[in-house]
Amino acid sequence: MEDVQIKKLVQEIREEQQISPFFADETIEQYIKEAEYDINDHCGTKIDYEKDLKARSLLKNYVLYANHKKLAEFKELYGGEYAELQNEYYNKHTDVS
């Protein structure tokens, strides 16, 4: 993800999750990068988070749980969404029609 997209996401996450302006952007940016890596790794492809709103929502929820140090809980609760994305991207890459 490009820096411009990350900055946009930081602002979006700040507003949606009502994160204090005193909380460092760099920390949120790191959570975004970790989420992007984790989701892309599970799906086996690079996802466009501007176009895929399901993946974008999952990424923002990852940040929320990471910020509260609850990633294990996140993985439990959102395992189904990971599986759906993985299936969707697997089918896109194997569809020969």
6 Cβ contact list (under 8 Å, min separation 6): 29, 32, 33
What pLDDT, on a 0 to 100 scale, did the predictor assign at position 36? Answer: 98
What pLDDT, on a 0 to 100 scale, did the predictor assign at position 95? Answer: 54
Mean pLDDT for each 10-residue chunk of the chain (97 residues)?
A: 94 93 94 97 93 97 96 96 92 60
pTM, whole model, 2 decimals? 0.89
Task: Estimate to the nearest angstrom the gap between the alpha carbon of 60 and the chain centroid.
Answer: 5
Tell me the one-letter amino acid at 90.
Answer: Y
